[in-house]
């Protein structure tokens, strides 16, 4: 942030450091172990009085000199060059903290160089005693270089108490210093054996070749046992949070951990194999292969060590994007643009948003991600996101991807960053902010207050039935809207009629063939264990039929309406209901909407587009990507199962509205799981966080919040709380049932909720819900604009199950369904949502309000029959 950025798109993401560092570290360990190999092999030659072995040592010394001094020296300089350009802030910390350590290391390095040149060029020209001393001086200096570098490198992984005291020795002799030193020392010895294989298998004399190959095998096999013990010691010395990050929470580390584990026996097997007398034509390629395997072994370790300190480059001190942990609060308050020294644009406008987003990317992302390159390519990782989706992802990425630094900057800067990545690199845009919607014209049935003998009231119990139309891959909910109806015989004392009458329903003809639009019926047998005839619901209901008589009402159960016709998307199918007497006389007719939507914004994070008219529905791309994420994060095989023709129901694992599971081993219920997980990415956004996923946007294709509460300025959060509060209440309900996963998710929400966490009341979805009387005490005007945290105690108290004081007339019969409380309206017009008030009263107000008792009562009413305070002017006309 305080240094200019070296613009490396293709080679970003640490590619150059990885490519140079692994090779250099491999050679540098050879420079240590190989030095001891030279001295001890020379001593063996003197002890055995074998000039052939001595000549082998001389040639191996030449090979050793070229590899360590040339390749090692060049890559060593290359590392300094790249880290100084790619991460100058961290390099500066290392230099300033360990300046005397570096000075000492360079002294030992100079001694190494001088000693090695003397050792090689004095071979056979110096007394044995003094030549061996030179060799020992080289090895001692090389190991001391390792000693010092080890302290500095592991300081970045486990700085220990240096964070508090900034003391040189605290940082140098950090918690992993000694186990890491042992680990690297034994690693250096076994690498010496690998390089020894290469030079030994090139010996022409067979007996000497076999002898030295076996000698090299000892260098591999004997240190290997100590090396494995030191690896366990090293792992045990790591703090618990680093171990959890590395071995449990970083799926990207799995290949390297697995590689390290599997290569270990390969090295042993290779060493044993080379110890067997075999032709040179066989041993040479095996030796070279072993050398490459050793390089991969070193690479696996280095990637694990690098991964262990994520999301930091200096653990708990500096993030991998070079931002100091102590600077985060200031940057989040003032903005990154105001604090970064090498950024051109200090403010964001519509004209420079893309350019500024690029600058923010350079500071925050380029150190780990490439643009079009092989290392953590940002385009592939973010291919499915729209700018808003990616903005949400970035806001919570550090929670479920803890190896990534938390976002640093303001909300405006975050969106600019997301806009650059999603649109500038991947060409993805947000959906249209305003979806064109046409008013739907309805032929409102007639009603003659002087002649009509009956009033027929109907309602849908769901504010909006939302389906995913992804049945080839998975099912969130089946098509199935419930329509309730009550037939009232008008009179001085009206009567709810259920006997000797028949109620028939009929969905408008444009919606009569839902099987033409979704694949539910192709998958119903697998998803629900019931092979259904096309256009038939789970209960057996068809698109027209007879309603069943229940206790005081009639029900058309799970009519399989979908929001599609041959003309496109329409979320408000109209159901016509006719009540007839036993002899077939028509008693009353009415109409009601059966709201159903596929406008869920999943594609904004999971790829794909809207399936229908650029306004609703799931593409197969979105459906598959959702399963892929579930598989990656939960260890399932849902995508493979779906591709094999076995789609899954979400509620088969996660209990939902109609299912229930118990026990701590069961997954969280569907609502707690969905909201608990996604709330981490949507915090602090108010009702906008709801409309990103649900069809609640006032300018969207569905506009599900169409009732009076929406008209007077309330929104989702007024009843359900913010996304954080909503999720917390659900997670608390699961935690009370013994679900440890609930507490794990809830811990991330505590800093963000509006209501203090300990005051949030636990609840179960679809049972503990907001209720009208929570606000409208004694049916009076509310004293608050929020009913969050006040829940119905049981399903019987839900608004959809409540009745008037007589216990005979449902509240929804006069007030309509949740989210559509009269007077209701949205872009589809008043007629769609207030058919019955218009039919019976000529207005859009609740049935019987504004002294309209004459709808049912044939005498003037003086008493409030249904609930208190109903004989008055309607407040919000």
pLDDT of residue 532: 95
Percent of residues, the chain, with pLDDT higher than 70: 98
Mean pLDDT computed over 730-740: 90
Domain boundary among 318, 338, 363: 318
Does residue 478 form part of some domain? yes
Higher pLDDT, 460 or 432: 460
The C-alpha angle with vertex 140 and arms to 135 and 141, in degrees rounded to 5, equals 100
Which of 318, 334, 349 is the C-terminal boundary of a domain? 318
Q: Which two tokens stand for residue 658?
A: 């109609």
pLDDT the model gives residue 600: 94
With the C-alpha atoms ordered 772, 776, 781, 784, is the resulting torsion angle positive or negative? negative
The yes-or-no verdict on residue 317 having pLDDT over 90 is yes
825, two tokens: 């309206």
* 857 belongs to a structural domain: no
- Chain centroid to Cα 98, Å, comes to 39
Average pLDDT in the 190-209 region? 92
Residue 657 has pLDDT above 60, yes or no: no
pLDDT of 409 above 70: yes
pLDDT of residue 513: 97
Same domain, 384 and 301: no
Distance set, CA 208 to CA 43, 277, 333, 874 (Å): 16, 11, 71, 106
663: pLDDT strictly greater than 50 = no
**Rounded Cα–Cα distance for residues 734 and 664 (Å):** 9
Q: Does residue 27 lie within any of the structural domains?
A: yes
The pLDDT of residue 659: 43
What is the percent of the chain where pLDDT is above 90?
A: 73
Q: Are 181 and 266 part of one and the same domain?
A: yes
pLDDT, tens digit, 9 for 90 and up, residues 516-529: 999 999 999 999 99
Specify whether the CB–CB gap between 291 and 271 falls below 8 A. Answer: no
Comparing 76-80, 503-507, 575-579, 867-871, the range with the smallest average pLDDT is 867-871
**What is the rounded distance in angstroms from the CA atom of residue 549 to the CA atom of residue 485?**
10
Measured CA distances, 3 to 310, 312, 371 (Å): 21, 18, 20
- DSSP SS3 for 482: strand
The CATH number of the domain where 536 resides is what? 2.60.40
759-817 pLDDT, tens digit per residue, is 899 999 989 998 888 888 888 888 777 788 889 999 889 999 999 988 899 999 999 99
Q: What is the pLDDT of residue 740?
A: 87
Residue 346 placed within a domain: yes
DSSP for 539-588, written as a single string: TS--SEEEPEE-SSSEEEEEE---SEETTEE-S--EEEEEEEETT--EEE
Residue 816 Rama label (left phi>0; alpha psi -120 to 50; beta): left
Whether residue 301 is found in the same domain as residue 361: no
578: which strand partners?
Answer: 504, 589
Buried b / exposed e across 550-569, counting CB within 10 Å, b at 16+? eeebbbbbbbbbbbbbeeeb
Residue of 159, 157, 153, 93 whose CA lies nearest to 307: 157
- Shared domain for 254 and 386, answered yes or no, is no
Q: Which two tokens stand for residue 24?
A: 């250099």
Q: What is the pLDDT of residue 751?
A: 67
Q: Write down the pLDDT at residue 806.
A: 87
Q: How many domains does the chain have?
A: 3
- With a cut of 80, say whether residue 146 has pLDDT above it: yes
Q: Is the pLDDT of residue 661 over 50?
A: no
| Beta-bridge partners for 586 | 580
Contact (Cβ atoms closer than 8 angstroms) between residue 584 and residue 570: no
> Is the CB of residue 514 less than 8 Å from the CB of residue 535?
yes
pLDDT at 380: 93
Backbone torsions φ then ψ of 93, nearest 5 degrees:
-60, -45
- In-domain check, residue 555: yes
Residues 294 and 23: their CA atoms lie apart, in Å, by: 11
CB hemisphere CA count around 816 (13 angstroms) = 30
Q: What is the mean pLDDT of residues 175-202?
A: 95
Residues 307 and 217 in one domain: yes
Q: How many CB atoms lie within 10 A of CB 132?
A: 18
DSSP 743-784: HHHHTTTTTT-SS-GGGPPP--TTTS---HHHHSGGGPPPS-
Beta bridge partners of 575: 507, 592
**Domain boundary, last residue among 254, 288, 318:** 318
**Cβ proximity of 564 and 597 under 8 Å:** no
Which range is least confidently modeled, 9-13, 506-510, 629-633, 822-826?
9-13
Is residue 1 in a domain?
A: no
The average confidence (pLDDT) of the chain is: 92
Examine the domain organization and report whether 267 and 398 are in the same domain.
no
Q: Specify the pLDDT at position 837.
A: 96
Give the model's confidence band at 568: pLDDT under 50 very low, under 70 low, under 90 confident, else very high: very high
The CA distance from 503 to 221, in Å, is 86
pLDDT at 662 over 70: no
Residues 396 and 275 in one domain: no
Integer Cα distance of 622 and 533 in angstroms: 27
DSSP tag of 405: P
Q: Name, of 123-127, 172-176, 629-633, the range with top average pLDDT.
A: 172-176
Which positions ≥6 away from 210 have C-beta within 8 Å?
277
- Tell me the residue range of the domain where 221 lies: 15-318
Instruction: Convert the pLDDT of each residue in 96-134 to its tens digit.
Output: 999 999 999 999 999 999 999 999 999 989 999 999 999
Q: Can you tell me whether residue 590 is helix, strand or coil?
A: strand
Which residues lie closer than 8 Å to 528 by C-beta, 6 or more apart? 475, 478, 538, 649
- Res 805: pLDDT: 86
Of residues 248 and 45, more confidence is placed in 45
DSSP state of 66: I
| 3-state SS, one letter per residue, for 323-343 | CEHHHHHHHHHHCHHHHCCCC
State the Cα–Cα distance between residues 73 and 79, nearest whole angstrom. 10
Asked if residue 297 has pLDDT above 60, the reply is yes
Question: Residues 327, 332, 336, 338: what is their CA dihedral angle, to the nearest 10 degrees?
Answer: -90
| Three-state secondary structure call for residue 389 | helix
Name the band, by pLDDT with cuts 50, 70 and 90, for residue 876: low
**How many of the other CB atoms lie within 10 Å of CB of 266?**
15
> Are 295 and 347 in a shared domain?
no
Query: How confident is residue 367, by pLDDT bands cut at 50, 70 and 90?
Result: confident
Residue 380 token pair: 């592939």
Print burial letters for 6-36: b (CB count within 10 Å at least 16), e (below 16): bebeebbbbbbbbbbbbbbbbbbbbbbbbbb
Same-domain pairing of 47 and 116 = yes
Q: For position 781, what pLDDT does the model report?
A: 81
Cα separation, 71 vs 144, whole angstroms: 20
- Report pLDDT for 658: 43
Query: Closest Cα partner for 149 from 198, 214, 79, 203?
Result: 79
Residues 393 and 510 in one domain: no
Q: What is the pLDDT of residues 430-441, one digit of tens each?
A: 988 889 999 999
Quick one: pLDDT band at residue 36, thresholds 50, 70, 90?
A: very high
Residue 89 lies in a domain: yes
Residue 658: C-alpha distances to residues 467, 578, 721 (Å): 15, 29, 24
Lowest mean pLDDT among 38-47, 137-146, 240-249: 240-249
CB 14 within 8 A of CB 305: no
The span from the CA of 331 to the CA of 408, in Å, is 6
Q: Are 628 and 617 in contact (CB under 8 A)?
A: no
State whether 313 and 359 are in the same domain: no
Domain presence at residue 439: no
- 312 & 332 share domain: no
Buried b (16+ CB within 10 A) or exposed e, 371-393: bebebbbbeeebebbbbbbbbbb
pLDDT for 743: 87
């Amino acid at each position: 942030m305080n240094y200019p950025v070296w613009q490396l798109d293709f080679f970003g993401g640490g590619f150059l450091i990885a490519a140079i560092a692994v090779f250099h570290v491999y050679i540098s360990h050879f420079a240590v172990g190989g030095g001891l190999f030279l001295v001890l092999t020379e001593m063996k030659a003197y002890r055995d009085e074998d000039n052939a072995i001595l000549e082998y040592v001389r040639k191996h010394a030449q090979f050793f000199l070229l590899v360590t001094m040339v390749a090692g020296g060049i890559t060593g300089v290359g590392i300094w060059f790249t880290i100084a350009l790619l991460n100058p802030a961290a390099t500066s910390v290392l230099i300033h903290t360990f300046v005397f350590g570096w000075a000492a290391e360079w002294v030992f390095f100079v001694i190494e160089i001088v000693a090695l040149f003397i050792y090689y060029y004095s071979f056979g020209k110096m007394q044995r005693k003094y030549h061996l001393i030179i060799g020992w001086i080289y090895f001692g200096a090389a190991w001391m270089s390792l000693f010092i570098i080890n302290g500095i490198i592991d300081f970045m992984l486990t700085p220990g108490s240096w964070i508090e005291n900034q003391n040189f020795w605290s940082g140098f002799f950090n918690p992993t210093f000694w186990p890491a030193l042992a680990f690297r020392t034994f690693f250096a010895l076994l690498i010496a054996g690998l390089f020894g294989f290469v030079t030994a298998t090139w010996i022409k004399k067979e007996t000497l070749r076999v002898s030295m190959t076996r000698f090299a095998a000892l260098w591999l096999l004997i240190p290997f046992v100590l090396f494995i013990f030191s690896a366990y010691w090293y792992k045990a010395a790591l703090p618990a949070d680093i171990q959890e990050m590395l071995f449990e929470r970083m799926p990207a580390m799995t290949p390297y951990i697995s590689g390290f584990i599997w290569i270990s026996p390969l090295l042993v097997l290779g060493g044993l194999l080379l110890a067997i007398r075999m032709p040179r034509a066989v041993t040479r390629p095996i030796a070279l292969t072993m050398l490459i395997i050793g390089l991969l072994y070193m690479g696996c370790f280095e990637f694990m060590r690098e991964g262990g300190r994520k999301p930091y480059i200096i653990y708990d001190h500096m993030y991998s994007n070079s931002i100091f942990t102590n600077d985060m609060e200031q940057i989040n308050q003032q903005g990154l643009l105001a604090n970064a020294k090498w950024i051109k644009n200090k403010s964001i406008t519509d004209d420079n948003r893309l350019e500024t987003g690029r600058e923010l990317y350079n500071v925050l992302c380029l150190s780990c991600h490439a643009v079009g390159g092989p290392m953590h390519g940002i385009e592939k990782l973010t291919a499915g996101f729209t700018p808003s989706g990616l903005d949400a992802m970035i806001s919570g990425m550090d929670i479920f991807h803890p190896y990534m630094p938390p976002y640093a900057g303001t909300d405006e800067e975050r969106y600019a960053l997301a806009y650059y990545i999603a649109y500038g690199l991947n060409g993805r845009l947000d959906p249209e902010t305003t979806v064109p919607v046409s008013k739907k014209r309805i032929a409102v049935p007639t009603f003659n207050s002087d002649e009509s003998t009956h009033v027929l009231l109907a309602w849908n119990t769901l504010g909006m039935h939302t389906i995913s139309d992804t049945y080839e891959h998975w099912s969130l909910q089946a098509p199935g809207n419930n329509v309730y109806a009550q037939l009232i015989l008008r009179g001085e004392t009206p009567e709810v009629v259920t006997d000797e009458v028949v109620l028939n329903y009929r969905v408008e003809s444009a919606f009569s063939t839902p099987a033409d639009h979704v694949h539910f019926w192709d998958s119903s047998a697998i998803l629900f264990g019931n092979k259904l005839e096309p256009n038939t619901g789970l209960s057996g209901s068809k698109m027209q039929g007879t309603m069943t008589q229940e206790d005081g009402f009639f029900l058309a159960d799970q009519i399989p309406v979908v929001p599609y016709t041959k003309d496109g998307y329409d979320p408000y199918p109209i159901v016509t209901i006719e009540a007839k007497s036993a002899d077939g006389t028509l008693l009353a007719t009415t109409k009601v909407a059966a709201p159903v939507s596929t406008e869920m914004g999943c594609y904004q994070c999971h790829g794909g587009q809207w399936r229908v008219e650029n306004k609703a529905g799931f593409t197969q791309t979105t459906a598959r990507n959702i399963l892929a994420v579930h598989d990656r994060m939960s260890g399932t095989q849902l995508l493979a199962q779906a591709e094999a023709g076995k789609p899954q129901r979400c509620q088969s694992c996660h209990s939902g509205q109609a299912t229930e599971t118990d026990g701590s081993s069961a997954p969280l219920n569907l609502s707690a799981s969905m909201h608990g997980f996604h709330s981490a990415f949507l915090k602090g956004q108010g009702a906008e966080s709801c409309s990103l996923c649900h069809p609640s946007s006032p300018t969207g294709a569905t506009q599900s919040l169409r009732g009076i509460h929406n008209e007077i300025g309330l929104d989702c959060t007024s009843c359900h709380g913010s996304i954080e509060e909503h999720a917390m209440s659900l997670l608390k309900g699961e935690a009370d049932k013994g679900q440890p996963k609930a507490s794990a998710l809830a811990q991330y929400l505590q800093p963000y909720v509006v209501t203090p966490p300990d005051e949030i009341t636990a609840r179960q979805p679809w049972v503990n819900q907001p209720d009208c009387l929570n606000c409208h005490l004694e049916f009076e005007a509310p004293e608050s604009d929020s009913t969050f945290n006040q829940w119905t105690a049981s399903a019987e108290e839900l608004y959809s199950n409540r009745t008037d004081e007589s216990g005979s007339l449902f509240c929804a019969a006069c007030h309509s369904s949740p989210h559509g409380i009269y007077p209701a309206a949205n872009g589809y017009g008043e007629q769609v949502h207030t058919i019955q008030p218009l039919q019976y009263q000529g207005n859009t107000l609740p049935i019987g309000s504004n002294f309209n008792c004459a709808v049912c009562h044939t005498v003037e009413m003086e008493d409030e029959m249904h609930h208190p305070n109903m004989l008055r002017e309607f407040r919000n006309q």
